[in-house]
Structure 1
């Protein structure tokens, strides 16, 4: 684990909420009480992230298992948003590099694709380790709950 620079700590959460463009509530990741979609839109001055959702309830079981595995680790590329129409990781997917530092977890860089081949230029995000672990736990719980409902 590397020592982190002085990053401003952000609050991270995942929950269901009504989102513009959707008839029913969707899962959303929030950063300091705004959606990750809005964080990305504001920092890229675009609206390209509006119809993306966290990878919960992916159509392909193999894709869902991969996301579950990646959530358990740091120092990985983690898919955090996918196309709400396709619900898989073969279409539009936004990924972040998750790094564990001595005193926090950092989403250092963002990009399109599981390989992050097209960078998304936004500031990194840092989270307290305990809060990030709680976020991961709730994220996994949503995946398990959604998977159980689809059987």
Structure 2
């Protein structure tokens, strides 16, 4: 689920991407730090960051947003390239590989 959300970079698409989860079992029901990810044709934006309060699988889960953290913008091709390199290094396979 984490990788599917991170790779959700179709222009106009928005999703919550888990950035920090419980390390023991990757439990997405414990404290989860998320980024609100939006994408356009050339960039991927992490517009805001927060603490997930609801289930990430819900349509609009509750999030306590951290207003003091600035947004981040990545060049789209570089963003996807870095993800691909990391997955290859860690031996993580996706359905489309």
Q: Please classify the TM superposition score into its range, dividing by the shorter chain length.
A: 0.5 to 0.7
Q: TM-score scaled to structure 1, two decimals?
A: 0.46
Separation of aligned partners in 1, 2:45 and 2:32: 19
| Contact residue 111 and residue 120 of structure 1 kept, 8 A | yes
Q: Report the equivalent of 1:119.
A: 65
Paired residue secondary structure (2:8): coil
Q: Report the equivalent of 2:16.
A: 77
| Bigger proportion of residues as helix | 1
Unmatched 5+ stretches in structure 2? none
CA RMSD of aligned residues (A): 2.2
Q: Report the equivalent of 1:134.
A: 81
**Cα distance, 1:116 vs structure 2:** 5.1
CA offset digits 1:40-98 (Å, max 9, x no partner): xxxxxxxxxxxxxxxxxxxxxxxxxx112212213211111112245311101111111
Separation of aligned partners in 2, 1:95 and 1:124: 12
Task: Decide which structure has the larger Cα Rg and report it.
Answer: 1
Structure 2 CA distance for partners of 1:116 and 1:132, relative to 1, 3 Å = farther
Unmatched 5+ stretches in structure 1? 1-65, 146-151
Q: TM-score scaled to structure 2, two decimals?
A: 0.67
| Contact residue 82 and residue 92 of structure 1 kept, 8 A | yes
- Number of residue pairs aligned between Structure 1 and Structure 2: 80
Q: How does 1:1-150 map to 2 (within 5 A)?
A: 66-74=1-9, 75-113=14-52, 114=56, 115=61, 117-121=63-67, 122-141=69-88, 142=90, 144=92
